[in-house]
Structure 1
Amino acid sequence: MKIQIIIGSVREGRRGKSIGEWAFHTAAARGDVQVELIDLKEWDLPMYDLAKPPILGQYEDPLQQRWADKIKEADGYLFISPEYNHSFTSALKNALDYLYEEWGRKPASFIGYGPTGGIRGIEQLRLVLIELKMAALGSALHLTKVHEKIVNNRFIASDHDTSSLNHALDDLLWWSRALSEAKKNQD
């Protein structure tokens, strides 16, 4: 199973990249999953303003097609997002809005961070993912006081953080396998 870990913050001084790198290395060390780290800052998707809605699946824009090809590779996703004004980031919403079918019938879990662990932002993100026909899982990692856990741009996880991430990954892998198998049986 291939899981894409998507860093949903693009602003200067963001903490999501350090968290994403930690999640990537932790997941890769397990040996039971293929992982890829995707940084939305590197994709630099402009605000979605294309004429054709993505639900049609007809991508004339080369960047949109490359994004579709990349997202299609995964069996599941781990979204990393801070909470901004009780929601998730506009960069992540924009990246989701670029596509439709490529997201569908795949599971997603979350790492939220902020004063409340990103709980409110992740709840809103779940609503959007459901509309994209994704299985938004209940298991998630909610990090607080992240600024205290980043040293020299490296996230220093507690044992609880690592245990919670592994629990979320266990669920994500289970659902990835189940939905992948269901898709095969349906085709």
Structure 2
Amino acid sequence: MAEPLKILVILGSVREGRMAEPVGNWVIEGAAARDGLACELVDLKEWDLPFYPFPKPPAAGGYTDPLQLRWAERVKSADGYILICPEYNHGIPAVLKNALDFVYAEWNRKPVAFVGYGGNGGARSIEQLTMVARELQMAPLEASVHIMGVWEKAKSGSFEPDAKDTRWIGHLYDELTWWGNALKNARDAG
């Protein structure tokens, strides 16, 4: 059996009382019950990436800042990503956009899936993130989860999905596994 894909589940919010953490934990727990995926939670609250201050754009490579180098290694270590993306004012949370912008080549040619919540299940955040992911040469997947009524599904610090959420996260895992393996094989082939 092939080694499972290493997937980073990135929490796209650092707000106090955020729903990103219980939703991210739900994603991790569901993935643990599946073959082929090894998910790890990445909390941007623990990274404290400043708004990009360096004169050289990340696409140019040659990082020298220690924090940028550490973030690059973390991103590079993965075979794919699941972004937990709330919608803030019809868009992407600034902390998540900044984390994506902080490095470049490390994201390339890897699949990314989205679990959104907020207005319209995070649809506008996911739509905008899809455009950003394309520019980072990622492969954004159609299989997104749009959680409606996230606050009503929070019970004692946990997220309790409905049948639709459960069905869509299963589809997301299936697609991420397929695309993750296809792209990993292509990257390995050179």
Common fold by TM > 0.5? yes
Distance, in Å, in 2 between the alignment partners of 1:33 and 1:168 is 12
Identity %: 51
Q: 2:74 — aligned with what?
A: 70
Match of 1:152 among 139, 143, 156: 156
Q: Deviations over 1:150-173 (max 9, x none)?
A: 111111112321221111111011
Deviation at 1:32, TM superposition (A): 2.4
Match of 2:179 among 163, 172, 175: 175
Distance, in Å, in 2 between the alignment partners of 1:31 and 1:23 is 14
Q: 1:14 — aligned with what?
A: 18
Unaligned runs of 5+ residues in structure 2 are none
The 4+ residue runs of structure 1 with deviation greater than 3 A are none
Distance, in Å, in 2 between the alignment partners of 1:154 and 1:54 is 36
Q: Higher mean Cα deviation, 152-161 or 20-29?
A: 152-161
Unaligned runs of 5+ residues in structure 1 are none
Deviation at 1:28, TM superposition (A): 1.1
Distance, in Å, in 1 between the alignment partners of 2:74 and 2:188 is 20
Distance, in Å, in 2 between the alignment partners of 1:108 and 1:138 is 10
Matched, 1:110 2:114: yes
1:112 is matched by which residue type in structure 2? G
Distance, in Å, in 1 between the alignment partners of 2:28 and 2:174 is 14
Distance, in Å, in 1 between the alignment partners of 2:151 and 2:90 is 19
CA RMSD of aligned residues (A): 1.0
Q: Higher mean Cα deviation, 105-114 or 149-158?
A: 149-158
1:166 is matched by which residue type in structure 2? G
Deviation at 1:25, TM superposition (A): 0.9
Distance, in Å, in 1 between the alignment partners of 2:27 and 2:184 is 23
Aligned ranges 1:93-108 → 2 under 5 Å: 93-108=97-112
Aligned ranges 1:29-178 → 2 under 5 Å: 29-178=33-182
Distance, in Å, in 1 between the alignment partners of 2:41 and 2:88 is 22
Distance, in Å, in 2 between the alignment partners of 1:28 and 1:52 is 39
The count of residues paired between Structure 1 and Structure 2 equals 186
Distance, in Å, in 1 between the alignment partners of 2:180 and 2:149 is 31
Q: Higher mean Cα deviation, 36-45 or 152-161?
A: 152-161
Q: Deviations over 1:129-151 (max 9, x none)?
A: 10000111111000011111111
Deviation at 1:31, TM superposition (A): 3.3
Match of 1:4 among 5, 8, 11: 8
1:171 is matched by which residue type in structure 2? E
2:87 is matched by which residue type in structure 1? E
Q: TM-score if structure 1 supplies the norm length?
A: 0.96
